[in-house]
Amino acid sequence: TRKMESLTANLKKMDLVPPQNIEGSFPEFNTVDLCRNYITEKLSELSGVDKSLIYPALEWCQVLEKGDLLLPLPRLRLKGNLDEMAIEFAEKFPLGGYIDRVVPQGKFLQFYFNTKFLLNYVTKDVLTRTSEFGSSPLGNNKTIIVEFSSPNIAKPFHAGHLRSTIIGGFLSNLHEKLGWNVVRMNYLGDWGKQFGVLAVGFRKYGSEAELEANPIQHLFDVYVKINNDMTAEKEEAEAKGETLDPENCIDGEARAFFKGMENGDEEALKLWKKFRDLSIERYIGTYARLNIKYDVYSGESQVSNDVMKEVSNTLKEKNMITEDRGALLIDFKNLGQKKLGKVLVQKSDGTSLYITRDLGAAIERKEKYNFDKMIYVIASQQDLHTKQFFTALDMMGNKWAKDLVHVNFGMVLGMSTRKGTVVFLDDILEAVKAKMLEIMQTNAEKFAQVEDPEKVADLVGISAVMIQDMQAKRINNYEFGWDRMLSSEGDTGPYLQYAHSRLRSIQRNANVPDEELLEANLSLDNVCGSLDKLKEQNLSDEEFEKKSKLLESQLEKTQALVRIMASYPDTLRYASKNYEPSTIVTYLFKLTHQFSSTYKVLRVIGEEREIMIARLALFSAVRQILHNGMTLLGITPVERM
Ligand code: ARG
């Protein structure tokens, strides 16, 4: 409400009457919503259609040419000739403060926001709210769990985990900005027979010192070695026509060890916990490089035996179980879900499986966090698993199963380092950093000015990986292209970083205190000039011609820029509906391209002070939005590069 009062006050200063507030809109946080409310009010008066039909029908436009908001008249349930009505409404619509153009396009109405209003209002809004610009209390403090990354201890951190990390980190930030209470959760693959194998391997090949120094790599090495031994042992026995003694072979020892873990054997659990704790410690550092901090390191091991029993009982009670040679499975065909096939929920030796643990984990999380929504960021290879899991959870009688969302994504092709095909997160980040440093060094003069080149190479390199990942719709596969993603030309992470550091340098060079920017005179005449001012100047025809051409282009570019700026908060909301990082990435490229084209015609240094300050205020607001968008994605913007 305090926000609402200050909105009203700000609008009054600009001689604007605040439109009626539509429920579910956030005009004080989102200028597009403010204009939506205005259009809704006026169009309702014009057409007699109820506001509740108009507001939700006002659509987002992908391209500026089509306007800022689009209204398909068929959604208003009007009777009569819609094409004619579109023309009539466009003619009669009250233009002025908020909207300065309405264009009928068949059965559609295109609304264009008033540049004068946006330039002043949005720029000041950004400069006042700084890093909070873009956020709105949409989530109303509801709780959301975002489960993401979820690698398996002692196994490689593969591309699927990388994508889950990047996309999940973004979705967590996004929901936080939109007023949700976010729980970031990592569900580790930290249980199962492989820990028996690992323990046997560690006895043979393990080194305490190496485990401390580099747990992730060391555990993986041990795991690979012991697996090789295990295969060799089997092959040898086969060649001799013998069978392995189950008590006295690697596989048997591993089974026994894991059984010990499951039965609570303290020695076994102590070793397992050491592997787990040291791995997590290392993960924490690596995730920090990506600006990710988990609230919970959960994992398959953390699902309690009690809840597993509960799951198994419910499945039986609800007649969802079929028995097959001592093993238990859900046959979805019998449950009217033919496409979902069958899935094993308990092996004949009584041990539980992946899906059973997921069912138990979800139930425990509901009890513990009482979440309103839970997102699983998992590769589309696990689409079937996730569908089976969600469906089973629902059939078990958990009404809240509808609040679970699977955010899936495609594969990364060709991701490997020179060392081979196995890639750990740290290795990827180190390799990118090294390459970025090489590229930076090719410009010796610039390189000399960078204070901490290692740090900058790291941050810019990481942004390259992240942007490449989030650029296209997440369901698409993509090719991991070192050179392409690191180039500062084209739509890449380094390009965004470059734009940010350039905006910083404009601010540094002009060197105006922030308070002064807030007082800037942001009238269109002041930022761009006007035809009247030109006429007063008594220019030669030729000069006049040249200057009025420039003016035209200044007006056009400034208009495009502020319209893009205004749509940032609405872009966040849109991204939260489709869980698409590409929505934000596309927006940021649109913003930076428009900035660079506008900056070409609106110089800052060399203008008289009032104009300089006005333009600088505008570009400072652009910088702030770019900063907010990059941090939202998980990227740290650099000051110089
Ligand atoms: N650890 C699993 C893997 O690497 C991913 C876990 C995904 N999350 C889940 N709740 N199943 O394949």
Could you give the CA distance from residue 285 to residue 85 in angstroms, rounded to a whole number? 61
Å from CA of 386 to ligand 1 middle: 10
Name beta bridge partners: 330.
Answer: 321, 343
Residue nearest to atom 1 of ligand 1 (CA): 189
Could you give the CA distance from residue 133 to residue 629 in angstroms, rounded to a whole number? 10
- What pLDDT score does 317 carry? 96
* Closest atom, ligand 1, to C-alpha of 382: 12
- What pLDDT score does 423 carry? 64
Å from CA of 13 to ligand 1 middle: 54
Secondary structure element (H or E) that encloses residue 269, with its range? helix 266-289
Å from CA of 166 to ligand 1 middle: 15
Provide the token pair at 121: 């209002």
Provide the token pair at 564: 């893009």
DSSP 8-class letter at 264: T
Could you give the CA distance from residue 74 to residue 107 in angstroms, rounded to a whole number? 7
Cβ atoms within 10 Å, residue 217? 16
* Closest atom, ligand 1, to C-alpha of 385: 11
Contact assessment for residue 244 and residue 237, using Cβ atoms and an 8 Å cutoff:
yes
Q: What is the ipTM of this complex?
A: 0.99
Provide the token pair at 20: 């009626």
Cβ atoms within 10 Å, residue 243? 10
Give, rounded to a whole angstrom, the gap between the first and last alpha carbons of the chain: 42
- What pLDDT score does 418 carry? 47
- What pLDDT score does 163 carry? 96
- What pLDDT score does 422 carry? 55
Cα–Cα separations (whole angstroms), residue 547 to 300, 390, 539, 550: 69, 64, 9, 5
* Closest atom, ligand 1, to C-alpha of 389: 11
Q: Choose which residue among 190, 381, 382 to substitute to test ligand 1 binding: the one with the highest number of ligand atoms within 8 A of its C-beta.
A: 382
> Among candidates 473, 429, 517, which has minimal Cα distance to 125?
517
| Series of mean pLDDT values for 10-residue runs along the chain (641 residues) | 82 90 94 97 96 95 92 95 97 94 97 96 96 96 97 88 97 98 97 93 96 92 94 93 90 94 94 95 93 97 94 96 93 95 89 91 98 98 97 98 98 68 76 93 91 95 96 95 89 97 96 94 95 92 95 96 97 97 98 98 94 98 98 97 88
Å from CA of 377 to ligand 1 middle: 9
Å from CA of 568 to ligand 1 middle: 33
* Closest atom, ligand 1, to C-alpha of 361: 10
- What pLDDT score does 416 carry? 60
* Closest atom, ligand 1, to C-alpha of 189: 1
**Positions marked catalytic:** 155, 158, 161
- What pLDDT score does 349 carry? 78
Could you give the CA distance from residue 19 to residue 35 in angstroms, rounded to a whole number? 8
Å from CA of 144 to ligand 1 middle: 18
pTM value is 0.95
Contact assessment for residue 130 and residue 624, using Cβ atoms and an 8 Å cutoff:
yes
Q: Write down the residue that tokens 């009250």 correspond to.
A: 94
Could you give the CA distance from residue 386 to residue 376 in angstroms, rounded to a whole number? 9
Q: Choose which residue among 146, 150, 380, 404 to substitute to test ligand 1 binding: the one with the highest number of ligand atoms within 8 A of its C-beta.
A: 150
The pocket around ligand 1, CB under 6 angstroms, is made up of: 147, 150, 152, 187, 189, 358, 376, 378
Provide the token pair at 491: 């739509």
